[in-house]
């Protein structure tokens, strides 16, 4: 991981995303890449002993994310479990980007991410 990414600025329990019987988490980091600030989120798949067994990064160019993130959007500053919004038995994720300006200067945004079993 790069310096200054503020990994862990937000954390939420997600339930069992990968259907292995163990709950998983989502972790935000809103100032990665030497303070560019676009942000990112990691879905961390856990083992029963609490160790990470894998992860999926979600950012402007990873994890199947198709939205537009700009420098200083702070995507990942906040994360919340949205439950299963689309009925596929996989918990979904809400990600806050308090400085996103796609709807107007620094108005902020909430992104609803429909997760798959691989994050």
Q: How confident is the model at residue 34 (pLDDT cuts 50, 70, 90)?
A: very low
Res 3: pLDDT: 55
Q: How far apart are CA 74 and CA 109, in angstroms?
A: 10
The H or E element that residue 32 is part of is helix 32-35
pLDDT digits (tens, 9 = 90+) for 3-15: 556 777 899 999 9
Question: Looking at the predicted structure, is the pLDDT value of residue 36 above 70?
Answer: no
pLDDT digits (tens, 9 = 90+) for 95-115: 999 888 887 777 889 999 999
Domain ranges of the chain: 10-113
> How far, in Å, are 28, 55, 78, 98 from residue 73 at the CA level?
13, 23, 12, 7
């Amino acid at each position: 991981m790069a310096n200054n990414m503020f990994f862990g600025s937000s954390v939420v329990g997600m339930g069992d995303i990968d259907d292995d019987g163990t709950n998983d988490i989502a972790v935000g980091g809103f100032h990665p890449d030497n303070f560019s600030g676009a942000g990112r989120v990691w879905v961390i798949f856990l083992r029963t002993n609490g160790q990470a067994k894998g992860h999926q990064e979600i950012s402007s160019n990873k994890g199947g994310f198709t939205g537009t993130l700009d420098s200083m959007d702070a995507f990942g500053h906040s994360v919340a479990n949205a439950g299963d919004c689309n009925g596929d038995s996989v918990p979904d994720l809400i990600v806050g980007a308090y400085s996103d300006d796609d709807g107007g200067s620094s108005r902020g945004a909430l992104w609803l991410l429909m997760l798959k079993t691989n994050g």
